[in-house]
């Protein structure tokens, strides 16, 4: 009897064991620290929270400062045999950060593909409520995509992110850079159109968008301006390779500012960048400044051409906020022709990047586009296709806005440099070497040089692109000693993380040299 009860209880307990084990198996499958469900709004925030936009340490140190900033001379750099050699590992990380969060970027492409998947699986009524996130995400993605093309040319895009869309590996093809640029330009137009008509969003969607939009706080008008402005930037970038298309589109835009509002700071010189520009603010918990990124690589001396050739002769009022004298009586940049030993022994005698505005500034935002840039773009368009007076107005506004912008950066860094007086600015804009004068070519040169200055090392990638497109400012480069890398490249070569793994690489292998030019680089 006892035994029977025992046997029964044994069998029963085994049964309980089996069923509970089976259940535990599936319960234990997923990582409890991670989320198994995806939603469009939170993915959207994740996409915007991009340390490839902010002046974060890794992005500055390993991407901008040692590649684009050197190739565009927006920062100084130590003379070494291989200064112009692209770092395969670092550029590979930047590349990867575009497709998935590889450590520093938010992976806009993969994130957008995931958002599309989630969005497509929603019922139609919910889709309508999420459309605003999708459109905004698209603008951000396209802006990032253009930077990829500017650096590499053809990139995988239309078929990229197959894991997010189909959960399987399928190497995407490399899309033609020029065609893809057109896609971006028209896509930005579509998005801008959407934002112009999206004012009647339901209140809950509006609130959710305002909350999750850590870039523009759900301001639909700003999103519209952002889309238009990036479109303007891309059109101008293609204006030498396909002038007709660019001219038509840009003149249409500029002719109707009501239909194509831009990030233009109200075309006021003394504008407020915090509310007018598209800036990705650091998180409130941030304590990291660009100090290490700039000092470690030895690029904190003032760049020669920028300070000595452009700013000092113009008595530029931005000098005190962009550079510091470093204990010397006057501002002066170290000659770019110095040898490594001369640099090491003499760097204390020259100006450096300002510590309040840049080195120790923990509030520095990530710059997506500024009013000054837009007005420089307008100036170029008007100078080439419109009238000279408009160009001058645009240029003067842009110069003043650039002054405001750098003083804004200085102020948020705790700087106390007083904003220059109206007369100082007026002298600088109207009667210095920066003043808009000379032949049309000279004027374009001024626009491009000042735009390059306005980009600085913070937007060294844009500075490098515009330098390659316009060949301004007229920089001289010291040849380096390493064979094959004597001069800066005209594009980045594909990082090995892509080229060695993508089976479609053969289709672009022939173009994959450091001297191949991006399609818009025709001047």
Partner 1 sequence: MQKSYYAMKCALIMLLLLVCNIAFAQVQITGTVSDDSGPVPGASVIIKGTTKGVKTDVNGKYSINAAKGEVLTFSFVGDLPQEVTIADQTVINIKLAVNNTQLGEVVVTSFGIKRQARSLGYATSTVTSKDITEAGNTNFASALYGKVPGLKVVTAPGGASSAVNMQIRGVNSINYQQQPLIVVDGVIMRNENQTGSNGVNNNGYWDDQRIRGNGILDINPDDIESISVLKGASATALYGSDATFGLIVITTKKGAKGKGPTVDFNYYGTRERAAFLPKFQNIYGQGYDRATNAAVGATEDGWIPDANSPSGFRPNFRAYADFGPKMDGQQVQWWDGSIRPFSPQPNNYKDIFRTGYSSLANVAVSNQTDNYNYRLSASRLDYGSIQRESGLQKNTFSLNSSIKLSKRVSVDLIANYVNTLTHNRPYQTYQLNSSYDGFFGRQEDMNLIRQKSQTSQGYDWVPYNQKSRNPAEAFMFNVRPNLYDYFWTTLKNTYDENENRLYSSGTLNWEIVDHLKFRGRMGNDFTSRSSEQKDYNQYAAAFNPSNSSTGSYGVTSGIYSIVYGDALLTYANKIKDFDYSVSAGFTSRSERYKDESSSTANGLVTENWFTLNNSYGILNTSFNRQYLLKYGYFGILDLSYKNYLFLEGTVRQESASTLPAQNNTYYYPSVNGSFVFSDAFKDHMPSFLSYGKLRAAYGVVGNPALIYTSNIVYNQSSLQTVTAGSVPQLTIPSDYGNSNLKPEMKHEGEVGLETRFLNDRIGIDVTYYNNRTKDIIMPLQIASSNGARSQIVNAGEIGNHGWEIALNASPLNGTFKWQTRLNFAFNRAKVYSLAPGIPQLVFYSAEQDAIRITAKPGEELGNIYVNPIATDSKGNKMVDGTGLYVIDNSTYVKAGNVLPKVTGGFSNSFSYKNFSLNVLIDYRLGGQIVSTPQKYGMGAGLYENTLKYRDAAHGGLSYYVNSAGTYVPTAGAAGPGGEKVYHDGVLLPGVLANGQPNTQIIQASTYYFNMFQWGQTADNQDGAIYNNSYVKLRELTLGYTLPSSVSKALGVNNLRFSLIGRNLFYIYRTLKNLDPETMIGSQWWRQGVDEGTMPATRSYGFSLNASF
The residue within the footprint of partner 1, chosen from 5, 124, 283, 389 (CB under 8 A), is 283
d(CA 139, CA 263): 14
Q: Closer to partner 1 by CB, 100 or 395: give it.
A: 100
Q: Toward partner 1, which CB reaches closer, 255 or 274?
A: 274
Q: Which residue has the tokens 């003067």?
A: 396
Q: Of 236, 228, 238, which is closest to residue 258 (Cα–Cα)?
A: 228
Minimum distance, C-beta of residue 68 to partner 1, in the bound complex (Å):
20
E-assigned strand segments in 134-181: none
Q: How far is the CB of 497 from partner 1 (least distance, A)?
A: 6
Show the site string, 198-217: x = touches partner 1 by CB under 8 A, - = not: ------------xxx-x--x
| Cα–Cα–Cα angle for 351, 353, 358, rounded to 5 degrees | 160
What's the CA gap between 354 and 364, in Å, rounded? 13
Give the contacts of 19 (CB within 8 A, at least 6 positions apart): none
Q: Do 180 and 117 touch, CB atoms closer than 8 A? A: no
Give the contact letters, 23-42, x = binds to partner 1 (CB under 8 A), - = no.
Answer: xxxxxxxxxxxxxxxxx--x
**Nearest-angstrom CA–CA distance, 375 and 446:** 13
Q: Which is nearer to partner 1, 124 or 483 (CB)?
A: 483
Per-residue contact track with partner 1, 413 to 432, x per CB under 8 A?
-x------------------
Smallest gap from residue 55 Cβ to partner 1 (A):
14
Helix (H) or strand (E) holding 43: helix 40-48
Stretch that binds partner 1, among 125-133, 305-313, 344-352, 457-465 (CB under 8 A): 344-352
In what helix (H) or strand (E) does residue 280 lie, and over which residues does it extend? Answer: strand 278-280
Q: Which one among 179, 272, 342, 387 touches partner 1, defined by CB under 8 A? A: 342
133 to 172, contacts with partner 1 by CB under 8 A?
A: 155-156, 160-165, 167-172
> Rule CB under 8 A: which of 451-490 touch partner 1?
481, 483-484
Subset of residues 81 to 140 that bind partner 1, contact rule: CB under 8 A: 81, 85, 88-89, 92, 95-96, 98-103, 106-107, 109-111, 113-114
Shortest distance, position 52 Cβ to partner 1, whole Å: 13
Q: Which of 198, 249, 203, 195 lies closest to 225, judged by CA? A: 195
Nearest distance from residue 133's CB to partner 1, in Å? 12
CB of 471 to partner 1, least distance (A): 28
DSSP 8-class letter at 66: I
Report the residue number, 83 or 306, with the smaller CB distance to partner 1. Answer: 83
Residue ranges in 45-84 that form contacts with partner 1 under rule CB under 8 A = 45-46, 49, 79, 81
Backbone region of residue 477 per phi and psi (left: phi > 0; alpha: psi in -120 to 50; beta: other values): beta
Instruction: Give the three-state DSSP class for 504.
Output: coil
Cβ 444 vs Cβ 380: under 8 Å: yes
Indicate the residue among 268 and 497 with the shorter CB distance to partner 1.
497
Residue among 257, 275, 337, 496 that touches partner 1 (CB under 8 A) = 496
In this structure, the number of other CB atoms found within 10 A of the CB of residue 194 comes to 20
CB of 414 to partner 1, least distance (A): 8
């Amino acid at each position: 009897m006892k035994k029977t009860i025992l046997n029964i209880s044994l069998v029963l307990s085994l049964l309980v064991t089996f069923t509970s084990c089976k259940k535990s198996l599936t319960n234990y499958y997923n990582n409890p620290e991670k989320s198994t469900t995806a939603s469009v709004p939170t993915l959207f925030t994740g996409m915007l929270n991009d340390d490839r936009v902010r002046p974060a340490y890794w992005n500055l140190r390993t991407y901008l400062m040692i590649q684009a900033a050197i190739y565009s001379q927006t920062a100084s750099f130590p003379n070494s045999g291989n200064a112009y050699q692209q770092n395969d590992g670092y550029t590979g990380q930047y590349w990867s950060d575009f497709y998935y969060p590889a450590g520093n970027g938010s992976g806009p492409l993969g994130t957008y593909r995931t958002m599309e998947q989630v969005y497509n699986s929603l019922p139609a009524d919910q889709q309508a409520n999420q459309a605003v996130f999708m459109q905004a995400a698209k603008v951000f993605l396209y802006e990032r995509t253009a930077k990829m093309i500017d650096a590499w040319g053809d990139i995988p895009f239309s078929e990229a992110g197959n894991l997010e869309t189909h959960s399987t590996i399928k190497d995407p093809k490399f899309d033609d850079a020029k065609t893809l640029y057109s896609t971006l330009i028209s896509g930005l137009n579509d998005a801008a159109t959407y934002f112009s008509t999206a004012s009647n969003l339901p209140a809950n969607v509006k609130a959710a968008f305002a909350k999750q939009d850590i870039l523009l706080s759900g301001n639909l008008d700003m999103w519209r301006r952002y889309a238009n402005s990036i479109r303007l930037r891309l059109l101008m970038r293609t204006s030498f390779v396909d002038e007709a298309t660019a001219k038509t589109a840009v003149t249409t835009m500029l002719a109707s500012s009501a239909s194509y509002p831009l990030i233009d700071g109200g075309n006021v010189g003394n504008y407020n960048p915090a509310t007018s520009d598209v800036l990705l603010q650091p998180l409130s918990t941030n304590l990291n400044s660009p100090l290490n990124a700039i000092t470690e690589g030895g690029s904190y001396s003032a760049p020669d051409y920028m300070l000595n050739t452009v700013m000092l002769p113009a008595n530029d009022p931005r000098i005190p906020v962009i550079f510091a004298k470093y204990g010397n009586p006057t501002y002066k940049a170290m000659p770019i022709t110095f040898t490594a030993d001369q640099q090491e022994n003499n760097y204390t005698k020259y100006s450096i990047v300002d510590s309040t505005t840049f080195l120790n500034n923990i509030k520095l935002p990530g710059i997506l586009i500024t009013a000054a840039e837009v007005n420089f773009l307008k100036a170029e368009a008007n100078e080439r296709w419109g009238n000279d007076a408009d160009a001058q107005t645009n240029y003067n506004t842009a110069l003043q806005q650039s002054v405001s912008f750098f003083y804004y950066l200085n102020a948020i860094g705790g700087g106390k440099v007083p904003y220059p007086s109206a007369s100082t600015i007026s002298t600088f804009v109207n009667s210095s070497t920066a003043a808009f004068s000379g032949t049309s070519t000279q004027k374009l040169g001024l626009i491009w040089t000042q735009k390059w200055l306005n980009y600085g090392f913070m937007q060294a990638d844009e500075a490098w692109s515009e330098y390659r497109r316009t060949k301004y400012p007229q920089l001289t480069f010291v040849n380096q000693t390493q064979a094959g890398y004597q001069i800066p490249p005209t594009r980045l070569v594909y990082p090995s993380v892509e080229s060695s793994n993508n089976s479609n690489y053969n289709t672009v292998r022939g173009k994959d040299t450091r001297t191949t030019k991006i399609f818009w680089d025709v001047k």
